[in-house]
Chains A and B, each alone.
Chain A
Amino acid sequence: MSPRTVHPRLRRLPLNIAAAATVVVCLFPVYWMVSTAFKPSTDIQSADPRLLPRTWTLDHFQRAVEADGFALFWRNSVLVTLGAVLLALLVALGAAFAVARMRWKGRRQFMLMIFIAQMAPWESLIIPIYIISRDTDMLDRLPTLTLIYFMITLPFTIVVLRGFIGTIPPELEEAAQVDGCTRTGAFWRVAMPLLTPGLMATSLFGFITAWNEFAYANFLIIKQQDNRTLPVWLSSFQNTFGTDWGATMAASTLFALPALVIFLLLQRHVTSGFAAGAVKG
């Protein structure tokens, strides 16, 4: 009797333990960030740490938000990121349309270039870009960052949009053209509405990439400290908060929140491998 009825459960036990361990390892740092942010300072700096905060407090968040320049850096980050994403979308839409729907010489070469650009060694271009920006008086300015983030997100945006445009049957636009639309008009009126989800998803991933970017923001904004962005500000938290880990974790939480929310919203796309590799730091 029982070996057959008991076994499956027992046999699944190691599997379930492994799954639980994975969940804990994945979530613990995130959880610890959030819970530290809500704990009173006395609990943070105590000899015996508690997994669950005894009392909750918003003091740390208040201190993080009121910290010097937080609002300003938040605004800078949003401006740079939005600028980069919109620019990338606009440019990518044209390019993706040309690649997906038109025949022209050099298209394959163009796509190869895009694939290579996607793997561009940005960490190795910091020095020349620093020197070029210095020569052209673009150091310490937000538009420089916008341009670079635009270029970082562009290849991915083109690749994904090309895929999305490809899934829309050209017959739809042809029908509109037969009915008297111009080619552009047909694209705007027929294909664009169908493309909206794709555009949303793509731009959100671009948003995350630009939102998280640290290296260029750190090395191209040097003297004009007012033009820093959130990641750089957060990385120098010790200048701002000293050893106030509660406020540091509150600031981290506020910085991470948009990315976490976007990822969870897009979870379906993410897990189906749609974004594979798009977002990594």
Chain B
Amino acid sequence: MPVAEKRTAARAPRWRPDTRPTARPARPAGAGGRRASRLWPYALVAPAVGGMLYLLVYPLARAVLISLQDFRLRQLISGDAEFVGLRNYRTLLSDPRFWEVVQRTFLFMALNVFLIMVIATLVALMVERLRRIGRTVVLCSLVLAWAMPVVAATTVFQWLFHSEFGIVNQTLTSLGLTSFDRYPWFANGTASFVILVTLIVWQSVPFAAITLYSALTTVPLELYESARLDGAGAGRIFRSVTFPVLRPIFLLVLSLEVIWTFKAFVQIWVMTRGGPGDATTILPVYAVQTALSSQRYDLGSAASMITVVLMSGVLVLYFRQMFRQEDESR
């Protein structure tokens, strides 16, 4: 995606080629062929557009509609939902539990994104300084961690933190922290929350680190040299030379990580289902719980739509950054 885009686009001069029409060859066609060839592109993109309309736009519109209806199990079966305006949103917004979930979502997001970005930047800087063999080994292990399927990784973490035979408890106990002997991590809200954050950070750092590292390799070496000649220390070099070059990619990765926080739905659902209590319930989990477990499809849809609105704020930032990148690389 964005980075891929930049990389391939830099090599190939055909991003939005209509700005340079002379590069295009005359089309082989008589008068009849000309009309047909004008329809060709539309025929070629039609399936993609159709798919998007039916599988993205329509569900989204449907979700908006449901969030404005009184839609419960009865309406699901009989199919005659009544329009109730913004009642569901009012119900949600006046529910203290919902606000707790929103708060928790932001805490979860901030914690994850902060840890991911800090660790990933450090790892990227480290990889850049390593010699060839070390670099290959580190990159390979990053790729392996990245490749771990979400559900498999989640299962493994459940095993690592198993109360009786989990390696984490056994290690902590043998280090003298006897209070961790058979400590039931998943019975404690904060502990589950921490494990989930650890899992997400572990899974997300590789992508961020590799992307940042490949951005680092584009920093011209002469810049470092001249900075060093001018007597700049390591911290100063990072602030004045490295980071400005890194910034666009850094912001892209940052906004992606923010958006991807919501994908933690899978890890949470597999590991804790939002429990114990409400301790790991973030917005998407709350929405699905409300809809599919308590059959309040209307409230669940409303919560989903609020999530989408929150996300699209970040998304706008992401797109601005991405298109700026596109323009620069042209």
Which residues of A does B touch, CB under 8 Å? 15-16, 18-19, 22-23, 25-27, 29-30, 32-33, 36, 44-49, 91-92, 94-95, 97-100, 102-104, 107-108, 110, 113-121, 123-132, 134-135, 147-148, 150-151, 154, 156, 158-160, 163-164, 166-167, 170, 174, 177, 183, 208, 211-212, 214-215, 218-219, 231, 234-235, 237, 245, 248-249, 252-253, 255-256, 259-260, 262-264, 267, 270-281
B-chain residues with CB within 8 Å of residue A259 when the two chains form the complex: 147-149
Name the residue of chain A whose CB is nearest to the CB of B174: A48
A150 and B269 alpha carbons, distance in the complex (Å) = 23
B269 touches A215 (CB 8 A): yes
Interface members, chain B 29-66 (any A CB < 8 Å)? 38, 40-45, 47-49, 51-52, 55-56, 58-60, 62-63, 66
B130 touches A263 (CB 8 A): no
A107 touches B18 (CB 8 A): yes
Q: Quick one: given A132-B62, A151-B55, A154-B48, are A219 and B292 in contact (CB under 8 Å)?
A: yes
A70 and B143 alpha carbons, distance in the complex (Å) = 27
The tally of CB-CB contacts under 8 A between chains A and B is 317
B-chain residues with CB within 8 Å of residue A121 when the two chains form the complex: 262, 304, 307-308, 311
B152 near A: Cβ within 8 Å?
yes
B157 touches A29 (CB 8 A): yes
A119 touches B259 (CB 8 A): yes
B-chain residues with CB within 8 Å of residue A170 when the two chains form the complex: 25
A15 touches B318 (CB 8 A): no
Tell me how far the C-beta of B47 lies from the nearest C-beta in chain A, rounded to whole angstroms. Answer: 4
Q: Quick one: given A214-B150, A231-B149, are A276 and B123 in contact (CB under 8 Å)?
A: no
Name the residue of chain B whose CB is nearest to the CB of A127: B291
B175 near A: Cβ within 8 Å?
no
Name the residue of chain B whose CB is nearest to the CB of A211: B149
Q: Quick one: given A108-B16, A235-B151, A259-B147, are A245 and B165 in contact (CB under 8 Å)?
A: yes
B-chain residues with CB within 8 Å of residue A116 when the two chains form the complex: 315, 319
A159 touches B1 (CB 8 A): yes
Q: Quick one: given A22-B123, A267-B143, are A99 and B45 in contact (CB under 8 Å)?
A: yes
Interface range for B = 35 or more
A19 touches B130 (CB 8 A): yes
B80 near A: Cβ within 8 Å?
no
A279 and B147 alpha carbons, distance in the complex (Å) = 8
A177 and B25 alpha carbons, distance in the complex (Å) = 11
Flag the segment in B6-14, B84-92, B95-103 that touches A: B6-14
Tell me how far the C-beta of B159 lies from the nearest C-beta in chain A, rounded to whole angstroms. Answer: 6
A160 and B170 alpha carbons, distance in the complex (Å) = 46
Interface members, chain B 132-149 (any A CB < 8 Å)? 134, 137-149
Name the residue of chain A whose CB is nearest to the CB of B150: A281
Name the residue of chain B whose CB is nearest to the CB of A245: B159
B156 touches A29 (CB 8 A): yes
The A interface, classified by DSSP as helix, strand, loop or mixed, is helix
Tell me how far the C-beta of A88 lies from the nearest C-beta in chain B, rounded to whole angstroms. Answer: 9
A91 and B308 alpha carbons, distance in the complex (Å) = 27
Picked from B52, B159, B260, B288, the residue with its CB within 8 Å of the CB of A32 is: B159
Name the residue of chain A whose CB is nearest to the CB of B134: A19
Flag the segment in B106-114, B203-211, B219-227, B240-248 that touches A: B203-211
Which residues of B does A touch, CB under 8 Å? 1-5, 7-9, 11-12, 14-18, 21, 24-25, 28, 38, 40-45, 47-49, 51-52, 55-56, 58-60, 62-63, 66, 76, 79, 122-123, 126-127, 129-130, 134, 137-157, 159-160, 162, 164-165, 167, 170, 174, 202-204, 206-207, 210-211, 213-215, 256, 259-260, 262-263, 265-266, 269-270, 284, 287-288, 291-292, 297, 300-301, 304-305, 307-308, 311, 315, 318-319, 322
Tell me how far the C-beta of B252 lies from the nearest C-beta in chain A, rounded to whole angstroms. Answer: 9
A131 and B71 alpha carbons, distance in the complex (Å) = 11
B25 touches A32 (CB 8 A): no
Name the residue of chain B whose CB is nearest to the CB of A168: B12
Picked from B144, B270, B305, the residue with its CB within 8 Å of the CB of A124 is: B305
Q: Quick one: given A123-B284, A245-B159, are A110 and B49 in contact (CB under 8 Å)?
A: yes
Picked from B63, B79, B204, the residue with its CB within 8 Å of the CB of A125 is: B63
Name the residue of chain A whose CB is nearest to the CB of B146: A263
A274 touches B151 (CB 8 A): no
Contact sample, A vs B, 25 pairs, CB 8 Å cutoff? A22-B141, A29-B202, A32-B156, A44-B165, A94-B48, A124-B287, A124-B305, A126-B291, A130-B291, A131-B76, A151-B51, A154-B48, A163-B4, A183-B28, A208-B147, A212-B151, A215-B266, A231-B149, A234-B155, A249-B159, A256-B148, A271-B139, A271-B143, A273-B4, A277-B2
Query: For A91, A92, A102, A273, which residue has the most chain B Cβ atoms within 10 angstroms?
Result: A273
Picked from A92, A114, A124, A270, the residue with its CB within 8 Å of the CB of B146 is: A270
B-chain residues with CB within 8 Å of residue A208 when the two chains form the complex: 147, 149
A167 touches B159 (CB 8 A): no
Name the residue of chain A whose CB is nearest to the CB of B53: A113
Contacts A22-B142, A95-B47, A235-B154 supplied; 14 other A-B pairs, CB < 8 Å: A22-B141, A44-B165, A124-B304, A126-B291, A128-B66, A163-B8, A163-B9, A166-B8, A170-B25, A183-B28, A237-B155, A273-B214, A277-B3, A281-B263
